[in-house]
Structure 1
Amino acid sequence: MKKRGAIRAFDGGTRRFKDKATRATRNTKPRAISKGKPLCFGVPRKSGRRSVLSRPLLADFGEFEKLEADHKLILTLSSSLLNFVKQGKEELFRKRVKTYVTTVLEHNQQEEILVFPYWKSVSNDTAKSALEHAKRIIQAFGVDEYLEFTGMSKQFFDSL
C-alpha cells in the first residue's frame, strides 16, 4: 500500500476512496477479479496488480462503478430490512422490500450483460483459480448458510 493520500494511476485512470476506519484516503482499482481471486466490492486493493477483468471493463467503467455502488446499496437495504424485522416494523419492511428486490434484480441483470460475458476471455487456469478462491470464501462464511441465502443446491455447488 502506498502512502496515505497518494494517487496511483491504473489503466489510464485513477480512483480514491475514503477508508472509514482510519479516515485516510487510499487508492483502489476496479474490484472485479484480480489474478484469479475475486475481491469483495468495498475492499481496497493491496497491490498494483492489474485485474483480470479490468481492461475490458474500463470501456464500461461508469457502468462498473454503478454495479459497485449497487453492491453497497444492496448491503444497506438488506441491513435495514433485517433491522425492520427485528424491531417489528412490518409496514416499513413491506414498503422497502420492493425496492430491495427491484435493485437486486436490475443489478443481477446488468452483471449478466456487462461482467459475465468477459469470463469467456479469461484463461481456464485463471477461472479455475478464481472459482477455488471463491469456494474458500464461501466455506469460511459457511456453505450451508450460503446455499440457503442464494438458493443454490448442494449438488450444484459440489459440481463447481
Structure 2
Amino acid sequence: MAEDPVTLCFEVFNEIGIIEQLSRTLLEARLPDGLIAPHFGVISHLSRRGDGRTPMEIARAFQVPKTSMTHTIKGLEAHGLVEVHPNPKDGRSKQVWLTQAGRRFRDETITAMIPDLNRLSQVYEMQKLVEILPALRELRAVLDADRDSPAERVASDGMRAV
C-alpha cells in the first residue's frame, strides 16, 4: 500500500462524501416541492426496517438529535406520508407508521429516478458497481458497529474519542 492508512481512509471518505452530495442533488430534483432527502431517507428507512419505530430510534439510526428528527417527522406527517401514534408499550413515547401515501411516495420517487439511473448505466460500467457493493456494505457494517460502541473510549493514541 503506497499511502498511509489515515490518508487512504480520508480519501475514501472524501470520495463517498462527494458521491453522497451528487446523489442527494439527483434525488432532490425528483422529490415533490417541500420534501428533501432526509424526508425520503426516513420513509426509506421505515420501509426497509419496518413501521412502528420511535422518533428516538430513527434519530439514532440517522445519528441526528431527536429534536431534528421530530422536525423531519412533523414535515412527513404534514404531507400525509407518516402517522404518529402513542406507543402502547410506553405512554411517554410515540411510534411512526408509514401511510399508503408514504409507501406510494417512495415507489414514485424511485420510479422518477429511473431515467437518471438508466443514464448512469449507459456511462458507467455496472459490473464495477456489482464488484464494489460488497466492500461498501462491509465498510458500512464496520462503521455501524463502531458507532454503536460506547460513546467515549480511549483511542490508541491515548486521546479521548467521542
TM-score by length of 2: 0.34
- Structure with the larger strand share: 2
Greater RCO structure (CA 8 Å; 6+ sep): 1
The structure whose residues are more often helix, as a share, is: 2
Greater radius of gyration (CA):
2
Provide the TM-score with structure 1 as the length reference: 0.34
